[in-house]
């Protein structure tokens, strides 16, 4: 680890935010959706460069339809990794909105926040359905938590109900499973738990110490594998959709060596 890397990366991150955040605020005030996704896409690419996140892509994201991208989840670092490739709205837990700095930035990304509690489930579902009706594509993490990335936890089927409502089926919503695989950490294969946990943020880890440790290393390489998209109309049952997506995401994790550089 190199302690000198942390202040360099922090300064780079802050300068990049100072350039991009005002532009995004103006764009959102003008209510022009296309640039409001393009600027975060550019911002995420810059963040990946600053933090040393190298992204390898296998397959292609679906662009012919409105899509719900379905992905496994390892870390808050997944957000710039995915955001540097896709122009879509993330779906995140409600507490993320309250995080210092990152909560504000996630709102600029047009993230949809959900609490996943039974008392607000209907309200959250309505919000997500409204975003879909507005023509937005979305990115969901149906494991409901982050892991160390060795396995994919069972998907919670509740989120898939937004794809099987009458309105969504009428819109012809598609789902595309995608797998995140950790290829290297600090330029080394993540064969030990210590190396893997420099990227993966899971369990009861605290955010600040984890981010501090990650900024002291040379970064990480993450592969995104895009699987064949699934038409919601072809499988209009949320539990079956969840199982079908889980199977593809899990299979992608079992083949980390088939990456093709983008």
Question: pLDDT digit string (tens) for 155-175?
Answer: 999 889 889 888 888 888 999
Alpha-carbon torsion 118, 120, 122, 127, what sign?
A: negative
Residues 182 and 214 sit within 8 Å (Cβ to Cβ) = no
Instruction: Sketch out the chain's domains with CATH numbers.
Output: 5-253 (3.40.1130)
Alpha-carbon torsion 88, 89, 91, 93, what sign?
A: positive
Residues 57 and 260 sit within 8 Å (Cβ to Cβ) = yes
Confidence (pLDDT) at 9: 93
Relative orientation angle of helices 5-29 and 33-51, to the nearest 10 degrees: 180
Confidence (pLDDT) at 247: 96
**Side-chain half-sphere exposure of 184, counting CA atoms within 13 A:** 14
| Residues of the chain falling short of pLDDT 70 | 30-36, 116-123, 254-262
C-alpha dihedral over 154, 143, 211, 49, to 10 degrees?
100
Please list, in sequence order, all residues whose beta carbon lies within 8 angstroms of the beta carbon of residue 196, skipping any fewer than 6 positions away.
148, 149, 150, 182, 185, 190
Confidence (pLDDT) at 223: 97
CA 71 to chain centre: 7
Confidence (pLDDT) at 118: 55
Contacts of residues 196-199 at CB distance under 8 Å and 24 or more positions apart, as own/partner, are 196/148, 196/149, 196/150, 197/148, 199/74, 199/75, 199/77, 199/149
Please list, in sequence order, all residues whose beta carbon lies within 8 angstroms of the beta carbon of residue 233, skipping any fewer than 6 positions away.
169, 172
- Taking the C-alpha atoms of residue 79 and residue 94, their distance in angstroms, rounded to an integer, is 15
Burial class of residue 159 in the structure, from the number of CB atoms within 10 Å of its CB (0-12 exposed, 13-18 middle, 19+ buried) = buried
């Amino acid at each position: 680890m190199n302690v000198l890397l942390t202040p360099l990366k922090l300064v780079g991150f802050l300068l990049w935010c100072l350039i991009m955040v005002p532009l995004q605020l103006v764009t959102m005030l003008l209510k022009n959706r296309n640039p409001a996704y393009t600027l975060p896409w550019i911002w995420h690419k810059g963040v990946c460069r600053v933090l040393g996140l190298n992204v390898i892509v296998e397959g292609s994201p679906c662009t012919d339809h409105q899509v719900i991208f379905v992905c496994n989840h390892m870390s808050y670092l997944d957000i710039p990794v995915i955001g540097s490739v896709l122009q879509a709205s993330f779906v995140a837990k409600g507490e993320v909105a309250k995080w210092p700095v990152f909560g504000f930035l996630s709102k600029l990304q047009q993230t949809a926040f959900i609490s996943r509690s039974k008392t607000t489930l209907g309200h959250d579902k309505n919000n997500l359905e409204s975003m879909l009706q507005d023509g937005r594509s979305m990115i969901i993490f149906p494991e409901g938590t982050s892991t160390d990335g060795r396995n994919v936890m069972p998907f919670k089927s509740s989120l898939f109900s937004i794809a099987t409502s009458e309105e969504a089926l009428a819109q012809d919503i598609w789902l595309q499973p995608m797998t995140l695989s950790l290829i290297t950490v600090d330029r080394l294969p993540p064969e030990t738990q210590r190396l893997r946990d420099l990227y993966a943020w899971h369990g009861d880890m605290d955010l600040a110490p984890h981010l501090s440790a990650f900024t002291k290393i040379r970064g990480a390489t993450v592969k995104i594998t895009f699987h064949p998209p699934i038409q919601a109309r072809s499988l209009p049952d949320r539990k079956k959709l969840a199982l079908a997506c889980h199977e593809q995401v899990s299979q992608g994790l079992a083949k980390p060596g088939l990456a093709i550089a983008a």
